[in-house]
Amino acid sequence: MDTPKTDWSQETAAARAWFESLRDRICAEFEAIEREAGSDARFTYTPWDRQHDGEPVENGGGGVQGLMKGRVFEKVGVNVSTVGGAFSKEFAGSINGASAENPGFTATGISLVAHMANPHVPAVHMNTRFLTTQKAWFGGGGDLNPPMPYAEDTAEFHAAYKAACDAHNPEYYPRFKAWADEYFYIPHRKVHRGVGGIFYDHLECADEAGFAANFAFTRDVGEAFLSVFPKLVRRRMGLAFTDADKLQQLQWRGRYAEFNLVYDRGTLFGLKTGGNIDAILMSLPPEAVWS
């Protein structure tokens, strides 16, 4: 019987490098859109180190929070982090491959949330990540969150992710679309957060070949986002909107905030592992109403 692979440091480094390169290309594209709108807004980048009880964790890693507030992107965060250490005994049992006896982990990933100034432009979320415990796996996905949905935009967004999925496994898209529909749901409101997308987790890597296959898929998920979302922004960012449209957007943002604070796994993971609070909560909208 083959010995299970336990050292994933090279793979983690490779995933981190790609997440950072994707971050750079996304941010450059978003800044280009701001230039097209006559804005000089640019991302600011703030590094952070993982902490526990207010103190830095030795060899705990950290990340960089990228944030831009502009004319088109009212608030957009693009964060990359690479952290490691040990989960708390209480939290370890909820993580794939971790336990109170073996709570060690590493995690690297990119996370993006964009809230748009124009309510005709859809907000969006995307993330991809690679984690190791006693197991190693990829997760991620993306979902479109329009306050004012357009069927054309929804179809194009889903088509981009379907093409990425179909290139690797014809079962991926229906499976991961259904997972997104189930996950991005607000039970106490009995509504979905948006018009969906894909969501996947625990795409496990037993060896180098498994890593290569799952990493290739995860890269295509990131490329799909970069190929489709800027098109949707450019299509809608110049449309006129009314005060009623803006109110609809602000009310929808309230629902988005409720999901992220109550149900989102990524928010909980960041808070439980000593992540940067500002980076974790960058997903929250800059303005929202409840009425």
Domain assignment present for 15: yes
Per residue in 106-147, pLDDT (tens digit) is 999 999 999 999 999 999 999 999 999 989 999 999 999 999
pLDDT at 52 over 70: no
Domain count, the chain: 1
Q: How confident is the model at residue 89 (pLDDT cuts 50, 70, 90)?
A: confident
* pLDDT (0 to 100) of residue 278: 83
Per residue in 58-74, pLDDT (tens digit) is 677 889 999 999 999 99
Q: What is the 3-state secondary structure (H, E, C) of 182-248?
A: HHCEECCCCEECCCEEEEEEEEECCCHHHHHHHHHHHHHHHHHHHHHHHHHHHHHCCCCCCHHHHHH
* pLDDT (0 to 100) of residue 35: 98
Domain assignment present for 2: no
> Tokens representing 47?
């590094």
* pLDDT (0 to 100) of residue 54: 65
Domain assignment present for 290: no
Write down the catalytic residue from 120, 125, 158, 192.
125
* pLDDT (0 to 100) of residue 55: 67
pLDDT at 5 over 90: no
Q: What is the CATH number for 188?
A: 3.40.1500.10
* pLDDT (0 to 100) of residue 49: 87
Domain assignment present for 4: no
Domain extent, residue 122, equals 9-283
> Rounded CA gap, 140 and 176, in Å?
10
Domain assignment present for 262: yes
Domain assignment present for 215: yes
Q: How confident is the model at residue 2 (pLDDT cuts 50, 70, 90)?
A: low
* pLDDT (0 to 100) of residue 98: 65
Residues 6 or more apart in contact with residue 42 via CB below 8 angstroms: 31, 34, 68
Domain assignment present for 129: yes
> Rounded CA gap, 191 and 70, in Å?
30
Domain assignment present for 291: no
- The number of residues making up the chain comes to 291
> Considering the entire predicted model, what is its pTM?
0.92
Residue 47: strand, helix, or coil: strand
> Rounded CA gap, 257 and 197, in Å?
18
Average pLDDT over residues 161-175: 98
Average pLDDT over residues 76-105: 81
CA 170 to chain centre: 23
CB atoms within 10 A of CB 92: 20
C-alpha separations of 24 from 10, 83, 219, 235, 288 in Å:
21, 20, 14, 23, 29
Known catalytic membership, residue 115: no
